[in-house]
Chains A and B, each alone.
Chain A
Amino acid sequence: DQQVKQNSPSLSVQEGRISILNCDYTNSMFDYFLWYKKYPAEGPTFLISISSIKDKNEDGRFTVFLNKSAKHLSLHIVPSQPGDSAVYFCAAIYPGGSEKLVFGKGTKLTVNP
C-alpha cells in the first residue's frame, strides 16, 4: 500500500509561470515531509521540508504548503525556470523515531523556455 502518492507523473509549464506539484499521504502519523529534486544521472538533492506543526515553509522561489486535514502537501515554484526541469520526489519520515524515508513515485517537471 502506497503511503505517499504523487498522482501526476509529469507536469509541463512555461518559464516564468508557477509550477505546482502535489503529494498526498495516507499515514496520519507522518510528522515531517520533504521534497527532493533529481536530475538524470544524478542522485536526489534535498530541496525543502516542512514539519507537521507548520502549514507553510518558504525558501526563495520554493514554497511548500501542508494541509494536514486533507493529508495533502504541495510544492510551489515561482517563477519557474528551465533549470527547474527535473523529477521531484515527495517524501515523509517514518513515524516513531525511524530514520527511514518513504518516497512518492515522483513527478517529472518540464519548464519550457
Chain B
Amino acid sequence: DVKVTQSSRYLVKRTGEKVFLECVQDMDHENMFWYRQDPGLGLRLIYFSYDVKMKEKGDIPEGYSVSREKKERFSLILESASTNQTSMYLCASTRPGAAHEQYFGPGTRLTVT
C-alpha cells in the first residue's frame, strides 16, 4: 500500500520562526510536490521536485523554500513564518509521466500566531 507521510498533523508557530515541514514517501517516486489548501482557493502548488537536489517553483513560492537531499524526503521551509502562511499543507508524490497518479499525504495544519 502506497504511503506518503507528513511529520506533523498540527503545528502552531509564532511569527518570525523558521518552520520545517517534512514529507516522506515509500514508493520510490521521483516527483514530489508541496501544496497549500485554503478555503475558497483550492490547492495551490508551492514547489515541486523531480529528482534529488532538483526543485522548481510552483505558483506561489514566495516565502517558502524546499530541500530534497534524499529521494524519499521533501522538506518545505518557511524561512520566517507569517500569519498569512496559516494553512493546510499537503505533500504529494508520483512517478515520472504519471501526474495523474499523485498520492497525497494527510496534510499538516499550520497555524502561525
- A residues whose Cβ falls under 8 Å from a Cβ of B: 6, 9, 32, 34, 41-46, 49, 89, 91, 93-94, 98-106
Q: Chain B's nearest CB lies how many Å from the CB of A97?
A: 8
Contact of A99 with B50 in the complex, beta carbons under 8 Å: yes
Contact of A49 with B100 in the complex, beta carbons under 8 Å: yes
- B residues whose Cβ falls under 8 Å from a Cβ of A: 4, 9, 31, 33, 35, 40-45, 48, 50, 58, 90, 92, 94, 96-97, 99-107, 109
Chain A residues with CB below 8 A from B109, complex form: 41
Chain A residues with CB below 8 A from B107, complex form: 41-43
Mostly, the B contact residues are strand
CB-nearest residue of chain A to B105: A43
Chain A residues with CB below 8 A from B45, complex form: 100-102
Q: Chain B's nearest CB lies how many Å from the CB of A37?
A: 11
CA distance A31 to B96 in the complex (A): 17
Contact of A99 with B100 in the complex, beta carbons under 8 Å: no
Chain A residues with CB below 8 A from B102, complex form: 46, 101
8 nearest A-B residue pairs (beta carbon): A43-B104, A105-B42, A103-B43, A99-B99, A103-B42, A93-B99, A44-B104, A106-B42
